[in-house]
Amino acid sequence: MAISKIYFVSAGPGDPKLLTIKAFEILKKSDAVFYAGSLINPKMLEVIKSDALLIDMKSLNFEQIKTGLEELLGSNYIISVLHAGDSSIYSSINEQMLYLEEKGIEYEIIPGVTAAFAASAAYKSILTLPDVSQTVIFCRGEGRTGKMPPGQDIKSLANHRATMAIYLSFGIIKSIVDDLTEYYPINTPCLIAKDVSLKGEILIGCKLKDVVKKSEEFSIKNMAILIIGEALKGKYLKENRSKLYDKNFSHGFRDKEDRS
């Protein structure tokens, strides 16, 4: 009996045009697609072939998802599990991989665009900048899924004054801002981003001191990202430029200009 192969497909921020070519091709040929209807843009489902079996996971627990997968194993189906964003960050993929490993079932992970990158691009900003920030911290506030590991709480991470991309934390945004203010000046640039790449996209550039007010004004309550750091205003900082194309900087493919 043939054993199905499982593809974990990352949907990216929501716009089907931001799927990778590989993700698009896999969805086009999938015979069955598991997806979280509460997180996936419905237009993403239009990529899937019309006769494919669609299984919405939004109201299912993991045991029910496993049962659904097991019913299809051996069918010779191409099966995809469609995850929002990128499967490598804040996803439920780990327990699904463990289950497949135990069953000896082949699987493949197709990466996608995560929210911080999509938000930065939509806002026409960057996350790193010479002499300003060379580090990006992906993190979240403490919520219902458990306590933060030692040293990984927002306040401890804020001590680095790097660019921070804070996921899944607008339900406790006042506490988040209080922790950030311990180390970041209140005028530090911030970006609040929700539904990036979708029709209802919200991009709010503001200062740290205004984050709570802006989140209340625009009713930002969940599934949004907060980015903080001086790198956000990089395009306005003329003195902080990459050396890559500087005429006075040499590298393996180019000599610097002779200034003699």
What is the mean predicted confidence (pLDDT) over 126-131? 92
For residues 141 and 176, the answer to whether their CB atoms sit within 8 Å is: yes
Higher pLDDT, 146 or 35: 35
Asked whether residue 257 is domain-assigned, the answer is no
Q: How confident is the model at residue 209 (pLDDT cuts 50, 70, 90)?
A: very high
Asked whether residue 140 is domain-assigned, the answer is yes
Asked whether residue 18 is domain-assigned, the answer is yes
Asked whether residue 228 is domain-assigned, the answer is yes
- What are the φ and ψ backbone dihedral angles of 145, each rounded to 5 degrees? -85, 0
- Name the pTM for this structure: 0.88
Helical residues (DSSP H) of 45-153, grouped into ranges: 62-72, 93-103, 115-122
Residue 16 has pLDDT above 90, yes or no: yes
The whole-angstrom separation of Cα 148 and Cα 166 is 13
CB-CB neighbours of 190 under 10 Å: 24
Residue 239 has pLDDT above 90, yes or no: no
Higher pLDDT, 221 or 259: 221
Specify whether 106 is located in the same domain as 130.
Answer: no
Domain boundary among 79, 110, 141: 110
- 13, HSE (Cβ side, Cα atoms, 13 Å): 26
Asked whether residue 125 is domain-assigned, the answer is yes
Specify whether 16 is located in the same domain as 59.
Answer: yes
Specify whether 130 is located in the same domain as 57.
Answer: no
pLDDT digits (tens, 9 = 90+) for 17-36: 999 999 999 999 999 999 99
Specify whether 9 is located in the same domain as 42.
Answer: yes
Domain boundary among 110, 137, 172: 110
Residue 33 parent element (H or E) = strand 32-35
Residue range(s) defining the domain that contains residue 41 = 5-110
Specify whether 82 is located in the same domain as 10.
Answer: yes
The whole-angstrom separation of Cα 52 and Cα 29 is 9
Residue 94 has pLDDT above 70, yes or no: yes
**CA dist 30 to 1, 44, 52, 95, 195, Å?**
19, 13, 7, 22, 26
pLDDT of 167 reads 96
What is the strand order of the sheet 189-194 is part of? 136-140, 163-167, 224-228, 189-194, 202-207
Higher pLDDT, 223 or 144: 223
Residue 245 has pLDDT above 80, yes or no: no
Specify whether 33 is located in the same domain as 75.
Answer: yes
Higher pLDDT, 1 or 143: 143
CB-CB neighbours of 211 under 10 Å: 26
Amino acid sitting at position 173: I
Specify whether 23 is located in the same domain as 46.
Answer: yes
In the chain, how many domains are there? 2
The whole-angstrom separation of Cα 149 and Cα 152 is 6
Q: How confident is the model at residue 79 (pLDDT cuts 50, 70, 90)?
A: very high
pLDDT of 1 reads 37
Query: How many residues make up the chain in this entry?
Result: 260
CATH code where residue 65 lies: 3.40.1010.10
Query: Which two structure tokens, joined as six digits, stand for 212?
Result: 């709570």
Specify whether 82 is located in the same domain as 149.
Answer: no
Specify whether 122 is located in the same domain as 226.
Answer: yes
